[in-house]
Structure 1
Amino acid sequence: MEIVQIVGLAFVAAVLILIIKEQKPMFAFLLTAFTGIVIFLFLLGKISSVIHVLEDLAEQSGVKPVFLKTILKIIGIAYIAEFGAQIVRDAGLEAIAAKIELSGKILIMVMAIPIITVIIETVVNLMPT
C-alpha cells in the first residue's frame, strides 16, 4: 500500500520540519521541498501507467494522437503549477504562488486553443444551414 508509505514519509518529515523550523527555518523549507519532490518521484511510475492506458484508449477510439498529447501536456502543466505553488506557499510567499497558478492557467488556455477550435468547428458543422 503505497499510500501508507507516502503518509509515513510525510509524517516523519512533518515532525522533523516542526523541530527544525524554530532553529533553522531555511533547512525546514528545504526539507519540505525535498519531501514533496521525493513523493512526486515515488508516483512517477503510477503516472506513467496512467499515460499508457490513456494512449491505448485513444488509439482504440481513433482520437488523433496530437489531441491526446495536448491533453496530457495540459494535465502536466496543471500538476506542475499546483506543485510549484504549494512549495512556494510553504515558504510563505503567497503572492508568488498566485503568480505560478495564474501562469499555469494561461499556459493551459494557450495549449487548449487547438482543441477548442476543433470543438467549435464540429458544432458549427452540425448546425443546419
Structure 2
Amino acid sequence: MPFNKLHVPKTLSSDICRSINDQLHASLVEMCGVNPDDYFCLICRYEPEDMIFHPTFLGERVPRATIVIEIALLGGRSDNQKEKLYKDVRHRLREIGFDPANSIMFLVENGPADWSFSEAGSVKTVLGL
C-alpha cells in the first residue's frame, strides 16, 4: 500500500508530475511487488525558492529543479529491493526526459494498523491481519 507524495516546484507541469508518478508506481509494482490497484499520489507544489537543497550533497543537482519523491508503504522490503527501486525509478525518470540527478527519494515504512481507508478501521482490522 504505497502512498506517494511528489514535492515539486510549481513550474513543473501537471503532465510531467503525472508521468513521474505513473513511472514510480510501475517501478513499485515491478521492484517491490506492490498491488497495481494501490495507486495513490498527492502532488505538493512549492515556489522554487521555497525548496532548499544543497546542490552537491551526495550528487550534483539543480536545487530549483529538484523534486522529492516520498513513498509511504508497508514495511518488509529488503535493502536489495529498495536499491533496485531507486535505480529503476531514476532510469524511468531519464526515459521520460526528467533529469534523475534532480530527484531525492525516501521511503517511510509502517504497518497495516497505520492505514485506514474507511469507517471500518485500519487495514489490519478490515483484512483481519
TM-score by length of 1: 0.26
Which is helix-richer, 1 or 2? Answer: 1
- Structure of greater Rg: 1
TM-score by length of 2: 0.26
